[in-house]
Amino acid sequence: MNREVLERQFDDAQLKTKKGTFGNQVTYIEGAAVIARLNEAFEGTWSFEVVEYKVFEDEIVVLGKLTAEGIVKSQFGSTRITRNRDTGEQVSLGDDLKAASTDAIKKCATLLGVGLYLYGGNGDGHNGGTKPKPENNSNGNRNGSGNGSNGRITNNQLQAIYSIGKSKNMSQKAIKDYCLETFNKVPDYLSKEEASTIIQELQNK
């Protein structure tokens, strides 16, 4: 396994942004770039399969499995069902399933180090220069060093996030996805200020 290739940061041109839940800009990597990275690292000798999928009223959830060099990584991917703006009818369930599958591939790839630095650390303590939130000049929180200007999330805050989320009938995955969509970080790598924002927003849900 070529970890150097897997964990290499992406060029700025490969990073895309989209509007998050609260209007903030969320940085992400397109599926094609992740697949290209996997091909480069494993010389094309990897595979992905959809183990299971569920179609809900407004969302599709896919359980995917990525296999490479005898290593197996599984993750859930999801996407909202695309509907016709006027009629509310589904546009293409097949396309939505593809989107959820691509999301699962991307999340499986992060378990191998692909783009992991965007989600709270790249596994080797190296931060590099790309920041998911340009307006935040401190990226120390993303490698777990806890030396950012605002400090790492406290244990009490972390417990509060999961406790409040659970009281709102949210699963652990839903809570993590909520934090990722809001600050592009999993709960463990939030700063104190970001954690406070999450706690307040969860309380208001």
SS3 100: helix
Give residue-wise pLDDT tens across range 80-90: 999 998 898 88
Which candidate, 46, 51, 35, places its Cα nearest to that of 68? 46
Residue 75 belongs to some domain of the structure = yes
CB 141 within 8 A of CB 148: yes
Of 202 and 138, more confident: 202
Residues 50 and 96 in one domain: yes
b/e map of 54-70 (b: 16 or more CB within 10 Å)?
A: eeeeeebbbbbbbbbee
Residue 40 belongs to some domain of the structure = yes
Give residue-wise pLDDT tens across range 11-66: 988 888 877 655 666 788 999 999 999 999 999 999 999 999 999 988 999 999 99
Residues 97 and 148 in one domain: no
Residue 123 belongs to some domain of the structure = no
Alpha helices in the chain (DSSP H): 3-7, 31-42, 93-110, 155-167, 172-183, 192-204
Q: Which domain holds residue 67?
A: 3-114
